[in-house]
Structure 1
Amino acid sequence: MSLDGKNVLVLGLGESGLSMARWAARTGAARVCVADTRAEPPGRAALAQHVPQAILRTGAFERDAFAGIDLVAISPGVPLAEPTVRDASARGVPVVGDVEIFSNALKDVYRDRATPTLIGVTGTNGKTTVTALTNATVAGGKRRTEMAGNISPAVLTALMDCIDRDALPEVWVLELSSYQLESTYSLNLDAATMLNLSEDHLDRYANLDAYAAAKARIFAGDGLQVLNRNDPMSLAMQRADRGVTTFGLDEAPTDQDYGLIRAGGSFQLAHGRTPVLAATALQLAGLHNAANALAALALTSEIDLDRTGALNAMRAFRGLPHRVEPVAEVDGVRYFNDSKGTNVGATIAALDGFARSLAGTTARVVLIAGGDGKGQNFTPLRDALGGAVRAVILIGRDGPVIDRALAGSSVARIKALSMADAIDRAREMAVAGDIVLLSPACASFDMFNHYKHRGEVFSAIVKGLPNAHGN
C-alpha cells in the first residue's frame, strides 16, 4: 500500500491520526489533509510542527473534505459507520487504520532483513498488562522487541522511531483494540490472543456479538491462536485449520497448553503438567494476573528465547499503574488501585483473582465501585461477590444503579459521597489481613478527569493515611 503520490485524508488528530499524517508525508503523499470534529484537537501543535504542509479542518466531517481523496486513514475513535466514511467506502475509496498501514509498511521496511515476529493481544480486560508482560518476557529472553498500538506509542510512531534509530526489532508486540481491528485487513500475526470478552463499548456496537466479531479479526491470519479456555467467547473463536494453544486457571488439558497446578502446597504456572514458575514469584497481585502470565508464556512459546532470562523478566515485572497496583498497607490492610477497571468484567476478574489467592483464609475484600456506568448490566457483579467480599462501598453517579443490581446479596453496601469518604468507610469495614480494592467497574468522568486521575486521588489519600507504609 504505497502512499507515494496519493491524496490522503486522515480522520481524527489524536495519537494515531498524527502518526498517520506523519507517515503519509514521510512516504511521499502528494497531499495530506486532516479532519477532526473537535475545535481544538490534541495533535494540532504537533501536526504544525511535523507536517506543516498538512491541511487541517475542524468541525463536523463534510463531504467536500473527501473530494479527490485517494485513501482515508481513519483513527480508532472514528466509527466506520460515520456517514461520510460510509459514502467514501461506497465510492471505492480505501478506508484503513494505522495498523493496516503499518502491516503493509513492514514488507518494505524489512525488505533486506529477516521478517519480524508479530504478536497481537486483544480482549476486553488485561490486554495492556499482557502486552507489556509479553514484551518484557521477550526482551528478557534476549530478543530485540518493540511494543506499540493501543498501549502507546501508536504503531506508526514506533515504526518511524525504530527506522530513525536504525533499531528495527526482531519481535513486535501489539496491543490491538476492537476499534483498530475494524479497519485492519492484511495483518498476519504469528501469535495472537483474545483474552476475554465482556460488555464494553456497546455505545459503538449494536450488541455483544458485533463487539466479538470485531475482536475476532485478530485471527484473520494463519498464526498461532492463544485462547482462554475459561472464557467461552474466547474459546468459541477457535478455528479448525489453525494451531491453537489454550491457557486458563485450571490444569492444562494437553501438554501444549498452559495452566495452574498445585505443587509443594502452592500454585505453579505450568506447561502441560510441567511447572514453569511459582505464582507467588510474580509481583502482580491476584490470580487473574497468573492468567495474564500464562497468556504471555503461550504467546512466546514458539519464539527462540533464552528461557532463563525470559522467566527472570517475568518475575521482575511490576505491572502497570492503575491495574491492580499495590498502593500501601495500613494497619494490616493492603490497598490496591485498579482504577483501570472501567467495566464489570474487569472488576469481576480482579475479585476472582483475589478470591482465589485468599481462599482458605478469613481475609476478605472491601470493594470500592461506582462512577459512570456506561449503561452496563451490573447483575453479574452480584454473583462475583461470593464469600470473598466483606463490603462494597459505592461512589459516583451510578452507585445507586449498582446498589440495585446487588439487591439480594448478603454483602454490606455502603454509600460514599467522595473518594475520601469511600476510603474512610472502607477503613471502618476492613480488618487486618483484608484487601481494600478500588475497582470501579465504571468510567470516571462523573467525578474525575479520567481513570488515571481517579487512581491518583485514591493512591494519594491512602498513602497519606496514618501508619501507611510500603508501595
Structure 2
Amino acid sequence: MTIDQQNTTNSSASLIQRGDGLQVVVGLGKSGLATVNFLHNLGYKVAVTDGGNPSLASQLPSDVLTKFNGIDSELLSSASRIIISPGIDPFLPVFADVHAKKIAMVSDIQLFCDVCKAKNIPIVAITGSNAKSTVTTLVGEMVKNAGKKVGVGGNLGTPALDLLLEPIEIAVLELSSFQLQTTTNLSAQVATVLNMSPDHLDRHGDMLGYHREKHRIFQGVKSIVVNRDDPLSRPLVADDMPTITFGSNAPDIHQYGIITDSQGDMWLARGRERLLHEKDVPIKGQHNLINVLSALALGESVGLPIDGMLNTIKNFVGLPHRCEFITTKTFDNQHTLDCYDDSKGTNIGSTVAAILGLGKVYQPKGKKLAVILGGQGKGQNFAELAKPLSQFASNIYLIGEDADKIQADLQKGNLLDTVKVIHCQTLQNAVKQGFDDAKAQADLGVLLLSPACASFDQFSGYVERGKVFAQLVV
C-alpha cells in the first residue's frame, strides 16, 4: 500500500503561500533539522518529535515545540501537515490516526520540489538499488564544470532543503525509496532508475512494493534515462517521452553503450562514436563504465556539452567506501593481496556488481577473490550471490547478525563446494583470515569487503565499517 492510497500524501498548496497550520517534523536527523529550519524561516508554526533523544536538538530554534523519547501521537493528530524523515516507516502503528484523519504526510523532498517548481529550477533525479551515489556525484561535477550553479544532495550528503540556502540553477538529487514513498509528482527535468535488485524488503514487503516506490521518481517527468540491461528500470510512460538509454552492449544511434574492439579493449561510445577508452576512466570495472554511461546520458538530457563531461570523467576518482582500492599487502615477498572497501555495498545487487566488476579484471590474471559478507540482511535472499561467487571467489568470510542465513541461502543457490565459507563473526577476524589465506593460496589476489548487508549490528553505519576495514588492512 502506498501513501497515495491512504490519501495522506502532500497537499497541492504551494510552500510560497504560508499557512497557519501546525507543521510537525517526525525525526530529527540532518534532513529533519533542515526541514525545521526551512519551515521556521517561512513563518510556519513548527513542532518536532523523535523516537529517541536526538543530538541535533540543541540546534533547533527556541520557539519550536519538541516531543522526544517517543513519537508523540497527540502532536501528530494536531498537525496540519507532517513531514516525515525517510528512515521512519509511515505505516507504523503510531500513524494510524494520521491516516484515518487524512492528514497530509510528505517528505522533505516534496517541499524541495515544490520550491523548484515555483522557481523553475530543473531537477536531475537519480535512484536505483546501486551506484546512485556515484552517478549523482559525477553528474554534479559535470554540471559544475559546465559553469552552472549546482546543488547536489538529497539522500547523499547535503539535505535537499539546505541546497536552497545558496542560489542554484540546477539540482542533482539522489533519492531513496524511503524518500520517494512520500513524494508525489516530482516533475524532474530528467529521472532514472539506474537498476533494480532486492533491497529494503523488510519495509516495502516485496519486490513489487519496492519497485512501486522507486518508480514514483517518474511522476511528472519531462525526459527519462533507461538502463537497457535492466528491464525493471524502464517506466511505463508515453511513447513520445524523450528517452536516452545506456547499457553494456554496443549502442544504437544517439544512445550510450560499450564497444569492445578486436583487442578486447572497451570503449565508452555514443552510437558508433568512440568517446573514451576504459584506461582513461579512473574508476575501474565494467560496472563503473556503465555508471559513467548513465551520467553521460543524464548530462545530455539537461544540455551539458560532451567535451566537458568527458573531461570530468577523466578526473573522477569515485567515492569513499564504493569499491575503493585501499592497499596492496605483500606476504613473504611474493604473494600479494589487493584490498577493496565496498562497505557501501549494503544490498545484494551492489555486491554482485562489485564481484563481477573486479572478478572480470582479476580472473584473466589467474586471481580469485575473498569476499567479506554479512551484517543485517534486511530480509534479502542471498542465493543470487552464489553464481558470481562460484565464478570469481575462492573464499567467503561471514560476519555479523545474519551470517547463518547467508550461508543457508548460498547453499540453496548451489554455491560450488570449491568455495570455502568461513564464519568469522567480526570484521577483524575476517581480515586476519584473509591475510592467513593469502599466505597459503597463491591464486588469492583480492580481499573485498562488500557485505550486501546493513552494518548497524556492529557499526554506526557503513562509513565506520569501511574505516575500520581500512585501518585493519593497512
- Is the pair's TM-score, using the shorter chain for normalization, greater than 0.5? yes
Q: Which residue of 1 aligns with 2:404?
A: 400
Structure 1 residue 307, shift from structure 2 partner? 2.9
Q: Is the 8 A contact 1:396 1:417 kept in 2?
A: yes
Structure 1 residue 237, shift from structure 2 partner? 4.8
Q: Of 23, 35, 41, which aligns to 1:20?
A: 35
Q: Is the 8 A contact 1:80 1:86 kept in 2?
A: no
Q: Which residue of 2 aligns with 1:73?
A: 83
Q: Is the 8 A contact 1:394 1:422 kept in 2?
A: yes
- Give the distance between the partners of 2:321 and 2:181, measured in 1 at CA: 27
Structure 2: 5+ residue stretches without partners: 1-13, 331-335
- 2:272 paired with 1:268: no
Q: Is the 8 A contact 1:119 1:299 kept in 2?
A: yes
- 2:357 paired with 1:353: yes
Structure 1 residue 427, shift from structure 2 partner? 2.6
- 2:26 paired with 1:11: yes
* Cα separation, partners in 2 of 1:8 and 1:447, compared to 1, 3 Å: closer
Q: Of 36, 44, 55, which aligns to 2:50?
A: 36
Structure 1 residue 138, shift from structure 2 partner? 1.8
Q: Which residue of 2 aligns with 1:135?
A: 140
Deviates more, 1:195-204 or 1:209-218: 195-204
Q: Which residue of 1 aligns with 2:111?
A: 101
Q: Is the 8 A contact 2:400 2:458 kept in 1?
A: yes
Q: Is the 8 A contact 2:362 2:445 kept in 1?
A: no
* Cα separation, partners in 2 of 1:67 and 1:393, compared to 1, 3 Å: closer
Structure 1 residue 244, shift from structure 2 partner? 2.0
- Give the distance between the partners of 1:23 and 1:321, measured in 2 at CA: 30
Q: Which residue of 1 aligns with 2:429?
A: 421
- Give the distance between the partners of 2:221 and 2:347, measured in 1 at CA: 31
Q: CA RMSD in A?
A: 2.0
Q: Which residue of 2 aligns with 1:411?
A: 419
For residues 399-433 of structure 1, the C-alpha deviation after alignment (integer angstroms, 9 at most, x for no partner) is 23222333341322223243233223223434478
Q: Which residue of 2 aligns with 1:278?
A: 277
- Give the distance between the partners of 1:462 and 1:390, measured in 2 at CA: 19
- Give the distance between the partners of 2:204 and 2:358, measured in 1 at CA: 31
Q: Is the 8 A contact 1:142 1:309 kept in 2?
A: no
Give 1:224-235 correspondences, 5 Å limit: 224-235=223-234
Q: Which residue of 2 aligns with 1:57?
A: 67
Q: Is the 8 A contact 2:371 2:397 kept in 1?
A: yes
* Cα separation, partners in 2 of 1:4 and 1:149, compared to 1, 3 Å: same
- Aligned residue pairs total 446
Q: Of 46, 59, 74, which aligns to 1:46?
A: 59
Structure 1 residue 4, shift from structure 2 partner? 4.1
Q: Is the 8 A contact 1:225 1:238 kept in 2?
A: no
Q: Of 229, 234, 257, which aligns to 1:259?
A: 257
Give 1:426-441 correspondences, 5 Å limit: 426-430=434-438, 431=442, 434-441=445-452
Q: Is the 8 A contact 2:340 2:447 kept in 1?
A: yes
Structure 1 residue 444, shift from structure 2 partner? 1.7
Structure 1 residue 375, shift from structure 2 partner? 2.9
- Give the distance between the partners of 1:96 and 1:445, measured in 2 at CA: 26
Q: Is the 8 A contact 2:247 2:256 kept in 1?
A: yes
TM-score by length of 1: 0.89
In structure 2, the residue corresponding to 1:380 is in which secondary structure? helix
For residues 271-320 of structure 1, the C-alpha deviation after alignment (integer angstroms, 9 at most, x for no partner) is 12211122222221322111111110111113333432321211111111
- Give the distance between the partners of 1:310 and 1:147, measured in 2 at CA: 16
Q: Which residue of 2 aligns with 1:165?
A: none
- Give the distance between the partners of 1:382 and 1:239, measured in 2 at CA: 38
Q: Is the 8 A contact 2:191 2:221 kept in 1?
A: no
Q: Of 378, 381, 386, which aligns to 1:374?
A: 378
In structure 1, the residue corresponding to 2:55 is in which secondary structure? coil
* Cα separation, partners in 2 of 1:236 and 1:97, compared to 1, 3 Å: closer
Q: Of 80, 88, 97, which aligns to 1:87?
A: 97
Q: Which residue of 2 aligns with 1:312?
A: 311
Amino acid at match of 1:46: Q
Structure 1 residue 339, shift from structure 2 partner? 0.8
Q: Is the 8 A contact 1:247 1:291 kept in 2?
A: yes
Q: Which residue of 1 aligns with 2:168?
A: 169
- Give the distance between the partners of 2:237 and 2:325, measured in 1 at CA: 35
- Give the distance between the partners of 1:79 and 1:420, measured in 2 at CA: 33
Deviates more, 1:423-432 or 1:282-291: 423-432
Q: Which residue of 1 aligns with 2:163?
A: 158
- Give the distance between the partners of 2:340 and 2:161, measured in 1 at CA: 34
Give 1:285-296 correspondences, 5 Å limit: 285-296=284-295
Q: Is the 8 A contact 2:300 2:306 kept in 1?
A: no
Q: Is the 8 A contact 2:258 2:267 kept in 1?
A: yes
- Give the distance between the partners of 1:396 and 1:368, measured in 2 at CA: 10
Deviates more, 1:276-285 or 1:65-74: 65-74
TM-score by length of 2: 0.89
* Cα separation, partners in 2 of 1:405 and 1:433, compared to 1, 3 Å: closer
In structure 1, the residue corresponding to 2:250 is in which secondary structure? coil
In structure 2, the residue corresponding to 1:387 is in which secondary structure? helix
Q: Of 376, 386, 391, which aligns to 2:395?
A: 391
Q: Which residue of 1 aligns with 2:8?
A: none
- 2:226 paired with 1:243: no
* Cα separation, partners in 2 of 1:438 and 1:453, compared to 1, 3 Å: same
Q: Which residue of 2 aligns with 1:467?
A: none
Give 1:187-198 correspondences, 5 Å limit: 187-198=186-197
